[in-house]
Amino acid sequence: MKLDFIIGLVLKATETVGITESRNVQAAVGEMIAWRNLFWGLSDAMARAPVPWAGTAVLPNPEYGEAYRVLSNVAYPRIKELIESFLASGLIYLNSHAVDFQTPALRPYLARYLRGSDSAAASERVKLMKLLWDAVGTEFGGRHELYERNYAGNSELIRVQTLQSARERGQLDHFKSFAERCMAEHGLDGWTVPDLINPHDVNHWSAACRSKTADA
């Protein structure tokens, strides 16, 4: 849900600063949505494909859980980087406090220089950008990024544990066996399986076709 919320803020922010139609912005937002879809898909897969545990109990699928665990500390810093890249100074070109809008001497300047695209009021633009900045750029935002990087465990350890778990489940042997089956299907004399055609067979067939065509 957190990514849903942040993406919603980003979509509104791009509209407010008038960059919705920029190709690089569309690509960045598309990538953010892909990360969001990935994690919802992994969480669904964990629940929908559980594995047996003790008695009649089951556990969320560990393969998808490990993928979630590893990729989560890659995704959030990447999303933060994308936001900071295309919204840039829009996140910090803001007044310091809401009381500024209640100061008659400042209000005209704020209304003129902090307004958004399509006649968006300065107060609404500032409100939106400050909320997004709170989520990704403030002390709170920075601490939250650190949390996302580490809450699943040490960055190196969770990757090693994924390898170890795959070994215990027999996945490593499966992966190697898959590669070995492919390697066994061809040798110095070409393919060794009946469903694949060696080049010399193709050339022979082509030559036979040309011969029949010439005879005809």
15-41 pLDDT, tens digit per residue, is 999 999 999 999 999 999 999 999 999
pTM over 0.85: no
Residues of the chain with CATH 1.20.140.10: 2-176
**CATH class for the region spanning 2-176:** mainly alpha
Res 205 pLDDT > 60: no
pLDDT of residue 190: 86
pLDDT of residue 170: 95
pLDDT digits (tens, 9 = 90+) for 98-107: 999 999 999 9
Q: Are 159 and 70 in contact (CB under 8 A)?
A: yes
Long-range CB pairs of 21-29, under 8 A, 24+ apart, other chains included:
22/86, 24/86, 25/86, 28/82, 28/85, 28/86, 29/82
pLDDT of residue 196: 84
Res 5 pLDDT > 60: yes
Q: Are 152 and 43 in contact (CB under 8 A)?
A: no
> Which residue shows structure tokens 């958004």?
116
